[in-house]
């Protein structure tokens, strides 16, 4: 787990912030798309809510685009791998190793760090505090999230952005063996970002944030900041692009119908539901969520798919995550936790 004595090992950064008016700023999705010409990984998080009186259509509250992520980190069965995405981030790996108090012999180079964490279900009765304090792959995320400390206040902190797989829960609960994953997805996949573009629709401001490292020439940091500001300012603002680019949810370009293939047919899925109901009656479980996956071959850019979700299903929890192995796109009415 993260050593509390060494978790103070971190990097103090100097934030550079430019504030723009949201009235002339471009749409966040357009900025995400523009940054895709240079960024290997792309992240957009948004929250959209209804007006208090319900008299107006849903409006976006906040949008966050991660520009030039510094690190990627991925976990598979207790093995966590960090990869450098930007050259200026190379010194961060040795600091991560110190924060985690990794034993001698861990795999480390100038561009990659690998470490092993316990990967087996927690046994016996444990309190929530004991579970949280136990060493797990989540320590890798805790150590990474707290790598940077800003000198002074900023509108938005640096941090990790990504997704967990459902299967990760088998580290905390005793479960049957995992089912075959045709996509071979990791247990979690995240990027660590420090340079951000943040839209605050309540303040009607857009913050372009970059961070200068101690080992970085300030002139280089300022140049990087100016480039990011230029990307944002060079895209014309306005709402018309959203209406023009959003695809219809019922099909693809050209009016083609989408054919879906399910991992379980209707009869098999109903059998699963009956099994759950019987388990509830017998007191084995108090709830369950039967599920099946749907697959379709489409010729739609994931960004355009996100535009449509955003238009037709505005939600408090929306995301576009392109973490190199494909894009994860979603819009959900459920929020697990909100901290401000």
The answer, yes or no, to whether residue 152 has pLDDT greater than 50, is yes
How large is the average pLDDT for residues 2-26?
81
Confirm whether pTM is higher than 0.95: no
Backbone φ and ψ for 167, nearest 5 degrees, come out as -65, -20
* pLDDT tens for each residue of 209-228: 999 999 999 999 999 999 99
CA–CA separation, 257 and 276 (whole Å): 34
* pLDDT tens for each residue of 228-242: 999 999 996 654 445
The answer, yes or no, to whether residue 265 has pLDDT greater than 50, is yes
The answer, yes or no, to whether residue 37 has pLDDT greater than 60, is no
Q: What is the pLDDT of residue 4?
A: 39
Q: What is the pLDDT of residue 5?
A: 42
- Picking from 4, 10, 8, 15, the residue whose alpha carbon sits closest to that of residue 224 is 15
Q: What is the pLDDT of residue 25?
A: 93
Helix (H, G, I), strand (E, B) or coil at 116: strand
What is the DSSP-derived secondary structure letter of residue 134? S
Domains parsed from the chain with CATH numbers: 11-248+301-332 (3.60.120.10)
Q: What is the pLDDT of residue 49?
A: 67
Helix (H, G, I), strand (E, B) or coil at 64: strand
How large is the average pLDDT for residues 90-106?
84
User: At 164, which helix (H) or strand (E)?
Assistant: strand 159-164
Q: What is the pLDDT of residue 241?
A: 47
Decide which of 135 and 205 is more confident.
205
Average pLDDT, the chain: 85
Decide which of 248 and 116 is more confident.
116
How large is the average pLDDT for residues 158-175?
89
Backbone φ and ψ for 52, nearest 5 degrees, come out as -55, -35
Banded model confidence at residue 104, pLDDT cuts 50, 70, 90 = low
* Lowest model confidence (mean pLDDT) among 49-58, 78-87, 258-267, 307-316: 49-58
Helix (H, G, I), strand (E, B) or coil at 248: coil
CA–CA separation, 107 and 127 (whole Å): 33
Q: What is the pLDDT of residue 165?
A: 92
Question: Helix 28-35 to helix 302-312 angle, to the nearest 10 degrees?
Answer: 170
Q: Are residues 169 and 33 in contact, defined by beta-carbon separation less than 8 angstroms? A: no
The answer, yes or no, to whether residue 253 has pLDDT greater than 60, is no
Q: What is the pLDDT of residue 80?
A: 94
Q: What is the pLDDT of residue 209?
A: 98
β-strand pairing of 294-295 with 317-322: unpaired
Banded model confidence at residue 312, pLDDT cuts 50, 70, 90 = confident
* pLDDT tens for each residue of 132-144: 777 889 999 999 9
The answer, yes or no, to whether residue 101 has pLDDT greater than 60, is yes
Structure tokens at 339: 């901290």
β-strand pairing of 11-21 with 148-150: parallel
Decide which of 145 and 61 is more confident.
145
Q: What is the pLDDT of residue 144?
A: 96
* pLDDT tens for each residue of 54-97: 544 556 689 999 999 999 999 998 899 999 999 999 999 999 99
CA–CA separation, 31 and 71 (whole Å): 21
Percentage of the chain with pLDDT > 90?
A: 54
């Amino acid at each position: 787990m993260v050593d509390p004595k060494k978790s103070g090992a971190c990097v103090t950064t100097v934030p550079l912030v430019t504030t723009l008016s949201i009235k002339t700023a471009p749409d966040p999705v357009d900025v995400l798309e523009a940054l895709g010409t240079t960024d290997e990984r792309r992240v957009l998080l948004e929250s959209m809510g209804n007006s208090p009186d319900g008299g107006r259509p849903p409006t976006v509250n906040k949008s966050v685009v991660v520009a030039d992520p510094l690190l990627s980190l991925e976990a598979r069965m207790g093995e966590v791998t960090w990869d450098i995405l930007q050259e200026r981030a190379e010194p961060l790996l040795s600091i991560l190793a110190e924060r985690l108090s990794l034993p001698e012999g861990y795999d480390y180079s100038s561009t990659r760090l690998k470490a092993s964490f316990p990967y087996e279900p927690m046994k016996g009765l444990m309190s929530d505090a004991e579970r949280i304090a136990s060493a797990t792959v989540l320590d890798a995320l805790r150590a990474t999230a707290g790598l940077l400390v800003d000198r002074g206040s900023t509108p938005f902190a640096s941090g990790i952005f990504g997704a967990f797989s459902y299967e990760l829960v088998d580290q905390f609960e005793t479960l049957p063996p995992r089912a075959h994953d045709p996509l071979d997805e990791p247990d979690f996949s995240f990027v660590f970002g420090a340079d951000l573009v943040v839209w605050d629709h309540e303040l009607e401001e857009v913050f372009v944030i970059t961070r200068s490292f101690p080992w970085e020439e300030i002139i280089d940091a300022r140049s990087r900041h100016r480039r990011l500001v230029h990307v944002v300012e060079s895209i014309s603002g306005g709402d018309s692009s959203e209406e023009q680019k959003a695809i219809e949810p019922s099909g693809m370009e050209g009016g083609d119908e989408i054919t879906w293939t399910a991992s379980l047919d209707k009869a098999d899925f109903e059998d699963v539901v009956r099994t759950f109901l019987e388990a509830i009656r017998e007191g084995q479980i108090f709830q369950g969520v039967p599920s099946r996956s749907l697959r379709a071959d489409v010729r739609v850019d994931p960004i355009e798919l996100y535009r449509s979700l955003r238009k037709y299903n505005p939600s408090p929890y929306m995301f576009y995550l392109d973490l190199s192995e494909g894009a994860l796109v979603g819009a959900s009415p459920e929020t697990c936790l909100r901290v401000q």
